[in-house]
């Protein structure tokens, strides 16, 4: 036995938007044993498998066109107006679990679009939330992941800046400053979810406390990739796993203190399973 002391980060686990979506899904699954969900309900394969075993069926937008008279869950990332229009046509009952923070952002972007503002969104190309945001502008807003994608000299002299809710606050304000340095008037809307952005500093503090860090997240989670790097920068002895089978005994030395943490899409039950495996070493 290696006599490892193992602690789970109390701040890790689902953000409230994901909790809300999963609770809505489980209520219906417990009653009816079946529910369609448009896209992965959360970017965590283990949690998706758990819910699929209860009867959740993951579909994409192409499948949605051919479904009628059924219940379909809209996940926390939100959807563009076209999804709601299709639901009306196909007599679908939408169980809307869009995160309130995302819905507020969608409304603000729609208001800016209605005022003919030049809208730029800092976010990940093709991300589910971004698709919903673009839909508020008839896909006319400009999405960028990095300022280097934009030719600053060709940008309008006045623009409205938004951000995907899960992006870095520091990076958002850095982008705003660089645009202003280039002589551009920026109407900046900080729409980043603080429950997500505050995880940066919380994880840095957590990662300092242990010899080894096990970061648990789904391979599809953007938030997971970012937060893993935060941990790795603070504590080089940080390891990424998506399930307990990936943990290796050779990572640990006798008497190590081990911290377990995860993304806002990582379920607490999965971190508990990881803890149980490590404690057996």
129 is catalytic: yes
User: Strands, E, within the chain: which ranges?
Assistant: 5-8, 35-38, 56-59, 71-74, 93-96, 119-122, 142-144, 158-163, 185-188, 212-216, 238-241, 257-262
**Nearest CA among 196, 139, 134, 144 for reference residue 167:** 196
Q: Are 206 and 212 in contact (CB under 8 A)?
A: no
Rounded CA-CA distance 95/60 in Å is 16
As given in the structure block, the two tokens for residue 18 are 């994901």
Catalytic residue among 26, 93, 129, 273: 129
CA-closest candidate to residue 128, choices 188, 75, 201, 66: 75
SS3 (DSSP) at 57 = strand
d(C-alpha 89, C-alpha 35), whole Å: 19
Which residues are catalytic, by number? 129
């Amino acid at each position: 036995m290696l006599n490892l002391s193992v602690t789970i980060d109390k701040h890790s686990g689902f953000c409230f938007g994901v909790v809300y979506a999963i609770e809505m899904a489980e209520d219906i699954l417990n009653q009816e044993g079946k529910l369609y969900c448009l896209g992965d309900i959360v970017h965590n394969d283990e949690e998706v498998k758990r819910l699929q075993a209860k009867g959740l069926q993951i579909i994409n937008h192409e499948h949605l066109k051919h479904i009628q008279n059924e219940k379909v869950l809209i996940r926390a990332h939100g959807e563009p107006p076209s999804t709601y229009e299709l639901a009306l046509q196909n007599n679908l009952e939408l169980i809307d679990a869009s995160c309130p923070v995302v819905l507020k952002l969608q409304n603000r972007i729609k208001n800016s679009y209605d005022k003919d503002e030049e809208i730029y969104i800092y976010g990940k190309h093709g991300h589910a939330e971004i698709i919903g945001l673009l839909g508020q502008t008839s896909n006319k807003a400009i999405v960028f992941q990095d300022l280097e994608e934009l030719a600053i000299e060709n940008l309008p002299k006045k623009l409205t800046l938004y951000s995907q809710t899960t992006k870095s606050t520091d990076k958002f304000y850095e982008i705003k400053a660089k645009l202003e340095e280039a002589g551009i008037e920026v109407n900046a809307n900080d729409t980043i979810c603080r429950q997500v952005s505050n995880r940066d500093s919380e994880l840095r503090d957590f990662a300092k406390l242990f010899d080894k860090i096990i970061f648990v997240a789904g391979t599809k989670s953007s938030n997971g990739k970012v937060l893993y790097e935060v941990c790795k920068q603070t504590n080089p002895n940080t390891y990424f796993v998506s399930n307990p089978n990936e943990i290796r005994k050779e990572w640990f030395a006798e008497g190590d203190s081990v911290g377990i943490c995860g993304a806002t899409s990582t379920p607490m039950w999965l971190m508990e399973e990881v803890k149980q495996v490590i404690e057996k070493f």
